[in-house]
């Protein structure tokens, strides 16, 4: 009998990918379903990851000239109605506030009272309410560009929630900017897409493909939507975030006008862009393994966890003294312009149990320190980017000297591994038959992980797009920005095509 290696997470990715995803979140203690349907409770470990995402992105926003502000949670219904496409896109998923208080219903309960004269929508996105402010703030070309970001929660009444990937309420940031010219607004749209891409690759260690959305997939009300798409380990695509060029659509809807240098009044050009707590879902699915979460050091809540090992009081004293010394040395180190984040796990528990807990939580570096290490003046190090059996004894001075380099190495290894996976599962396909086989699981009842990104020609017709969606549940994730002009034939209808696009199954 072949002995199967024990994994910390069951089911494994291979056995049941969605099941594995849920279990990783549970094992790492990141979040849980709340009493409110569709809404999750983000627990400290998950929230700390979000805080690191916020912190680093916020710096990048500030570096590109943006400032933070805050706008109301409620949007009067009439504001929402101003942009026709926008209404159509979001109407089906809006939470609506109709009353302002509760009163005794005479049966021991409460009933809503104080009916509002105008209903309020809980923001699914803030273009319209922010537009109302912008119309007052923008008067002259001297007021432009206006570069605002908001960190907020939004509500979209989705039918099928999934922790981090799709919850009724979620946390995000939304940037909203106003520009004097189309060129400026387009430049901003691309700039923020690039910021996101850099963040995804350099911080989350997730390789992404930048591209434009097709007409059917773009943001309701936008002229064009740009996206960055990442491949998860089940070979499906996840949209990480979007940057929209809104043209004059929202300026007209919200009456955002300015006087130009010639003294003439013009509508302004606007953009919006956002990423959400979904990035945490991306992180889990891009890097995690069958022992749980794997966190890139740059956004890990802890870089290093130290697990003391001792049998008695005497050993404990020696080990803890030794660890105090290490703590002091680590405290003076910096990684990615921040202090090293570390923790001594001195809980009254068995060593093995603690060790596995931190493996499941994805901490990049684990140190086991016992009497043996004290006497050899070293630390016993395990790294989350390597097999858990692969632990090495490192001299304490060497460890301290090299820790930032180790973290860089881990960050890079995680990225390279994900990049290799993406490349290996991206295929140029020019034959319709092959395309259909690529996206068809062999076992229909219990589909195995299959497919990937198909880089294929598309004629530009929404009919072909729809046909493929109906046949295979595969959609055009994006038209890559770096797609070269080349002659080819549409994978669906065979007509002339000038570009390849990315097809994939999506979250």
Q: In the structure encoding, which two tokens stand for residue 385, read together? A: 């980017």
Q: Which of 190, 238, 188, 181 is nearest to 212 (CA)?
A: 190
Provide the pairing of β-strand 96-104 with 110-122. Answer: antiparallel
**Binding of residue 210 to RNA (CB under 7 A):** no
**Binding of residue 19 to RNA (CB under 7 A):** no
Q: Which of 127, 134, 143, 34 is nearest to 86 (CA)?
A: 127
**180 vs 381 by CB, closer to RNA:** 381
Q: How far is the CB of 344 from RNA (least distance, A)?
A: 14
Peptide bond before residue 145 is cis, with ω within 30 degrees of 0? yes
Based on C-alpha coordinates, what's the Rg of the chain? 26
Of the residues 235, 236, 278, 361, which one makes contact with RNA according to CB under 7 A? 278
Q: How far is the CB of 176 from RNA (least distance, A)?
A: 15
At a CB cut-off of 8 Å and minimum separation 6, what does 295 contact? 49, 283, 287, 301, 361, 362, 363, 364, 384
Count Cβ atoms within 10 A of the Cβ of residue 23 and give its class: 0-12 exposed, 13-18 middle, 19 or more buried: buried
**Binding of residue 167 to RNA (CB under 7 A):** yes
User: What distance in Å separates the CA atoms of residue 265 and residue 65, rounded to the nearest whole number?
Assistant: 26
Cβ–Cβ under 8 Å, residues 232 and 208: no
Q: How far is the CB of 156 from RNA (least distance, A)?
A: 5
Integer angstrom CA distances of residue 1 from 4, 9: 9, 22
User: What distance in Å separates the CA atoms of residue 357 and residue 353, rounded to the nearest whole number?
Assistant: 6
Q: How far is the CB of 402 from RNA (least distance, A)?
A: 18
In the shown chain, the binding pattern of residues 455 to 494 toward RNA, with x for contact by CB under 7 A and - for none, equals ------------------x---------------------
The H-or-E segment that residue 420 falls in is helix 396-424
Count of other CB atoms within 10 angstroms of residue 42:
21
First to last CA, the chain: 38
**392 vs 405 by CB, closer to RNA:** 392
**Binding of residue 506 to RNA (CB under 7 A):** yes
Q: Which of residues 102-161 bind RNA (CB under 7 A)?
A: 156, 158-161
DSSP-derived letter for residue 2 is: P
**287 vs 361 by CB, closer to RNA:** 361
Q: How far is the CB of 507 from RNA (least distance, A)?
A: 6
Cβ–Cβ under 8 Å, residues 101 and 112: yes
Number of H helices, E strands in the chain: 14, 27
DSSP-derived letter for residue 166 is: B
**Binding of residue 12 to RNA (CB under 7 A):** no
Q: How far is the CB of 453 from RNA (least distance, A)?
A: 17
Q: In the structure encoding, which two tokens stand for residue 232, read together? A: 């998860």
**Binding of residue 357 to RNA (CB under 7 A):** yes
In the shown chain, the binding pattern of residues 377 to 396 toward RNA, with x for contact by CB under 7 A and - for none, equals ---x-------xx-------
**145 vs 274 by CB, closer to RNA:** 274
**Binding of residue 339 to RNA (CB under 7 A):** no
**Binding of residue 50 to RNA (CB under 7 A):** no
Q: How far is the CB of 22 from RNA (least distance, A)?
A: 8
Q: How far is the CB of 6 from RNA (least distance, A)?
A: 5
**411 vs 475 by CB, closer to RNA:** 475
Q: How far is the CB of 287 from RNA (least distance, A)?
A: 18
Q: Which of residues 217-276 bind RNA (CB under 7 A)?
A: 219, 239-242, 274-276
Binding site for RNA (CB under 7 A): 5-8, 18, 33, 37-38, 89, 92-93, 156, 158-162, 165-168, 170, 172, 219, 239-242, 274-278, 291, 309, 311, 350-353, 355-357, 360, 368-373, 380, 388-389, 473, 506-507
């Amino acid at each position: 009998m072949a002995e199967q290696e024990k994994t910390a997470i069951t089911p494994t990715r291979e056995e049941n990918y969605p099941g594995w995803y849920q279990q990783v979140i549970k094992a790492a203690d990141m979040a849980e379903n709340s009493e409110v349907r569709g809404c999750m409770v983000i627990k400290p470990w998950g929230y700390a990851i979000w805080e690191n995402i916020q912190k680093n992105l916020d710096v990048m926003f500030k570096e590109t000239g943006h400032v933070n502000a805050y706008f109301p949670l409620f949007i009067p219904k009439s504001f929402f109605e101003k942009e026709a496409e926008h209404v159509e896109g979001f109407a089906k998923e809006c939470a609506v506030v109709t009353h302002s208080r509760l009163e005794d219903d005479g049966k021991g309960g409460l009933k809503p009272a104080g009916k509002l004269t105008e209903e309020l929508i809980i923001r699914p996105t803030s273009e319209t309410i922010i537009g109302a402010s912008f119309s007052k703030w923008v008067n002259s070309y001297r007021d432009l560009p206006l570069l605002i970001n908001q960190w907020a929660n939004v509500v979209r009444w989705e039918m099928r929630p999934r922790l981090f990937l799709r919850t009724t309420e979620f946390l995000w940031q939304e940037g909203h900017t106003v520009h004097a010219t189309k060129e400026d607004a387009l430049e901003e749209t691309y700039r923020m897409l690039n910021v996101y891409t850099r963040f995804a690759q350099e911080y989350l260690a997730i390789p992404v493909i930048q591209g434009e959305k097709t007409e059917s997939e773009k943001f309701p009300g936008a002229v064009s939507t740009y996206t960055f798409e990442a491949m998860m380990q089940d070979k499906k695509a996840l949209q990480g975030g979007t940057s929209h060029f809104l043209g004059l659509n929202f300026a007209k809807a919200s009456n955002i006008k300015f006087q130009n240098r010639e003294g003439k009044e013009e509508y302004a050009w606007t953009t919006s862009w956002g990423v959400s707590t979904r990035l945490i879902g991306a992180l889990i699915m891009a890097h995690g393994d069958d022992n749980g979460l794997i966190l890139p050091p740059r956004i890990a809540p802890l870089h290093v966890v130290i697990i003391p090992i001792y049998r008695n009081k005497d050993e404990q004293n020696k080990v803890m003294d030794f660890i105090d010394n290490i703590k002091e040395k680590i405290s003076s180190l910096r990684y990615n312009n921040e202090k090293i984040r570390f923790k001594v796990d001195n809980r009254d528990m068995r060593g093995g149990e603690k060790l596995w807990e931190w493996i499941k939580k994805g901490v990049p570096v684990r140190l086991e320190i016992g009497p043996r290490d004290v006497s050899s003046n070293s630390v016993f190090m395990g790294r989350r980017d390597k097999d858990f059996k692969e632990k090495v004894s490192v001299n304490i001075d060497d460890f301290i000297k090299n820790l930032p380099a180790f973290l860089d190495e881990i960050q890079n290894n995680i990225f390279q591994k994900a990049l290799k996976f993406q490349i290996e599962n991206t295929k140029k396909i020019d034959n319709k038959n092959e395309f259909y086989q690529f996206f068809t699981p062999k076992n229909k009842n219990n589909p195995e992980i299959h497919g990937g990104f198909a880089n294929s020609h598309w004629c530009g017709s929404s009919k072909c797009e729809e046909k493929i969606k109906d046949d295979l549940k595969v959609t055009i994730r994006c038209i890559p920005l770096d797609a070269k002009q080349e002659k080819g034939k549409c994978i669906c209808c065979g007509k002339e095509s000038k570009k390849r696009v990315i097809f994939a199954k999506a979250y």
